[in-house]
Amino acid sequence: MKICLMGFGSVGQGVARVFQMKRDEIKQEYGLDLDLVAALDRSGAAINPEGLDLKLLLETKKLTGKVSKYPEYGEEGVSGLEVLDRVEYNCLIEVTPTNIEDGEPALSHILKAMGDGKDVVTSNKGPLALKFSELARTARDNGVKFKYEASVGGAMPIINFAHETLSGCKIESIYGILNGTTNYILSRMAKEGSSYEQTLNEAQEMGIAETDPTQDVEGEDAACKVVILANSILKMDVTYVDVEVKGISQITPESISLAKKEGYLIKLIGEVSPDSLEVSPRLVKEGSPFAVEGTLNVATLKTDLADEVTVVGKGAGSIETASAILSDVISIWKTK
């Protein structure tokens, strides 16, 4: 399978590393050859129809910060759409940074690939949160596969889990902790009694929170995931603006200690149900499935037949997220 990788940040490099680690195993088990023919970052691209050397690609990125410096096959300034036009490939992996204003450049990349009859795997929440129905329709119209397990909960299985493992069940609602950064901050605040600002600083120093933490702490990232789950699992037709969003920046040590006195923890919860799409700080019982610490994600799916099913997993991380992408690639391969 010839693969085009758009985006070579943390997730993109994770994909390259996972391909490197698992290549032989996957070839043996599934007869699938993972051939990375193009990789793109802000600087440009590395393109080799015979397949890029993953080790060299990762080293080049590490040393120069640019895939376009890849020896012989690197090209500076080439755009994503240009790469998709020039390269012969079967599957696009779109992992450029999430943009919740207009979903670009990922939206154009994905639509172009689908239009050209290519399968698409993505972790990018922007296009999914803004244009879910258009993407699903375009995939259907062009007869291509479109998978996005990594967009919600990183390594925590949820989308394919709901579609495949729970097939036959009607999913009535989903409640979950869908953002690892905020869960880390709230867990630390509960443990240390520290202020929000202090804890955010600590998380930033540890690389758990971004320099501009808005998307995480104001609930925007979790809201994107709520939209994705609502569309893909509850079969609703909604976008980002339909979600009521409240973040954690107003949470105080006082409120956490009051909650604790009554046996509760405060968590940023995403709620997906036919009558409510919401991201807000909520009280959860200590000792309940939602009482997970650190950067873990968790989701409880309420179903008609299986009652409640809860999944937990690492919500972020380069290799962890790449694992979900790899599983999407393999499942596409299995249908061929």
Partner 1 sequence: MRLKLVLELLDVPGQLLDALNPIGRLGANIVAVIHQRDVKTERGTVPVQITIEGDKDTLNEVLNLIEETGIEIIEVDGILRKEKITTILVGNIVDQDLKDTVNLLNKIEGVMVADLDLKMSDHPEKSASRIVIEAQQGRKKEVLTKIKDIGNLKGFLVINEI
Residues 219-248, interacting with partner 1 (CB under 8 A): 246
Q: Does the protein bind partner 1 through residue 211 (CB under 8 A)? A: no
| Torsion angle of C-alpha atoms 260, 266, 272, 275, degrees rounded to 10 | 70
CB of 307 to partner 1, least distance (A): 16
Helix pair 180-192, 196-205: axis angle to 10 deg: 120
Does residue 17 come out as left (phi exceeding 0), alpha (psi in the -120 to 50 range) or beta? alpha
Q: Is 266 in the site for partner 1 (CB under 8 A)?
A: yes
Q: Which of 66, 147, 225, 267 is flagged as catalytic?
A: 225
CB of 313 to partner 1, least distance (A): 20
Residue 169 exposure: Cα atoms within 13 Å on the Cβ side: 19
What are the strands of the beta sheet with 35-41, ordered from one edge?
74-76, 44-47, 35-41, 2-6, 91-94, 119-122, 146-147
CB-side neighbour CA atoms (13 Å) of 115: 10
Q: Does 132 bind partner 1 (CB under 8 A)?
A: no
Among 251, 292, 324, 326, the residue binding partner 1 under the rule CB under 8 A is: 251
Q: 52 or 259, CB closer to partner 1?
A: 259
Helix (H, G, I), strand (E, B) or coil at 168: coil
Residue 225 known to be catalytic: yes
Neighbours of 203 (CB within 10 A): 21
User: Is residue 250 a contact residue for partner 1 (CB under 8 A)?
Assistant: yes
Query: Which residue stretch of 31-39, 50-58, 69-77, 276-284 sits at the interface with partner 1 (rule: CB under 8 A)?
Result: 276-284
Contacts of residue 72, Cβ cutoff 8 Å, sequence gap at least 6:
none
Q: Binding of partner 1 at residue 189 (CB under 8 A)? A: no
Out of 81, 136, 169, 283, point to the residue binding partner 1 (CB under 8 A): 283
Nearer to partner 1, 254 or 304 (CB): 254
Residue 268 CB, nearest approach to partner 1 (Å): 10
Nearer CB in complex with partner 1: 55/191:
191
Instruction: Quote the tokens at residue 247.
Output: 């973040």
| Positions 146 through 185 that interact with partner 1 (CB under 8 A) | 175
State yes or no: residue 306 binds partner 1 (CB under 8 A).
Answer: no
**74 near 45, Cβ under 8 Å?**
yes
CB of 177 to partner 1, least distance (A): 11
* 269 touches partner 1 by CB under 8 A: yes
CB 246 within 8 A of CB 279: yes
Please list, in sequence order, all residues whose beta carbon lies within 8 angstroms of the beta carbon of residue 261, skipping any fewer than 6 positions away.
Answer: none
Q: Which is nearer to partner 1, 284 or 332 (CB)?
A: 284
Interacting residues toward partner 1 by CB under 8 A: 175, 246, 250-252, 254-255, 257-259, 261-262, 264, 266, 269, 271, 280-284, 290
